[in-house]
Copies of this chain bind each other. A is one copy, B any other.
Amino acid sequence: MRIGLIGFGRTGKAVASVLLASEKCSLMWVYRQKTLLEKRRVAEYLGIENDAEGEVYSSSNTSIDELLDNHPVDIIIDFSSATGIYAYGEAAAKRRIKIISAISHYSEKEKMFLSELAKTTTVFWSPNITLGVNFLLFSAKFLKRIAPWVDIEIIEEHFKGKEGVSGTAVKIAESLDLEKSDINSVRVGGIVGKHEIIFGFPYQTVRLIHESISREAFGNGVLFVAENLVDKGIGLFTFEDLMLAYVKE
């Protein structure tokens, strides 16, 4: 799999390092707005021993068509911003390049644009592209369906500075029909990120816990998605779609 990466912030860099370390794919390029790091070899910049030739390109000096024609890829991974999709969406779709978007928040407009692109190519979107969080979401919904009367609360723990309730906790709460008051937010020290869903039964308790160690986890999520899109045709896919295929086996 030849992969192109859109966006090169802190998460983009962590994802690039995981992709470079994997034998399952080749990182052909990184495409970003800033001209900073332009033409640097990604592996070298990240200090990874790997002779992959993929370089950083800036949209200021290289057009997306130029990039896709000179350095063709099978999949584009998007870790840029909500509006990044406009910079490459059509160019990718018309070349049947698969799109994996890991953008956390899209407005309705972008979601509709994704649907539009999904008429021509394979499009995947997950606001939290880690295996663990998506597994939690999936199995928590499953347990709730089995025992709709069970009491559920969420505890999410993050570093002191983090403002607001974690987006992942909100998403979990929504998918389980919980109230915002069912989310307990702890903010202390340097906790990277912990989400715990507590299912209280009368005589037993079930806990589903996800702990983040570092943002490289997103890279492994991307690899999982990329592998599972190989046999998928055009259309819009979610993490749940990919997981369901495993249950049906």
**Residues of chain A whose beta carbon lies under 8 Å from any beta carbon of chain B:** 130-132, 135-136, 139, 142-143, 145-147, 150-153, 155, 157, 159-160, 184-192, 198-217, 219-220, 224, 243, 246-247, 249
Contacts and interface: CB of A to CB of B under 8 A. Distances in A.
Contacts of A130: 204
B209 A151 contact: no
Contacts of A155: 155, 184, 186
Given A247-B247, A249-B145, A132 B212 contact: no
A92 B185 CA distance: 48
Contacts of A200: 159-160, 186-191
A205 B191 contact: yes
Contact of A190 (B147, B186, B187, B201): B201
A145 B190 contact: no
B189 A205 contact: yes
19 contacts: A130-B204, A135-B142, A135-B206, A145-B249, A150-B189, A155-B184, A184-B184, A184-B186, A188-B205, A189-B201, A192-B213, A201-B217, A201-B220, A202-B213, A203-B214, A203-B215, A205-B211, A207-B207, A208-B209
Contact of A209 (B203, B207, B224): B207
Contacts of A247: 142, 247
Contacts of A135: 139, 142-143, 146, 206
B206 A190 contact: no
A210 B206 contact: yes
Best-surrounded residue of A151, A205, A215 (most CB of chain B within 10 A)? A205
B203 A217 contact: yes
Contact of A202 (B185, B198, B216, B246): B216
Contacts of A188: 150-153, 198-200, 205
Contacts of A215: 203
Contacts of A159: 200
Contacts of A217: 201-204
A190 B210 contact: no
A214 B203 CA distance: 5
Nearest to A228: B146
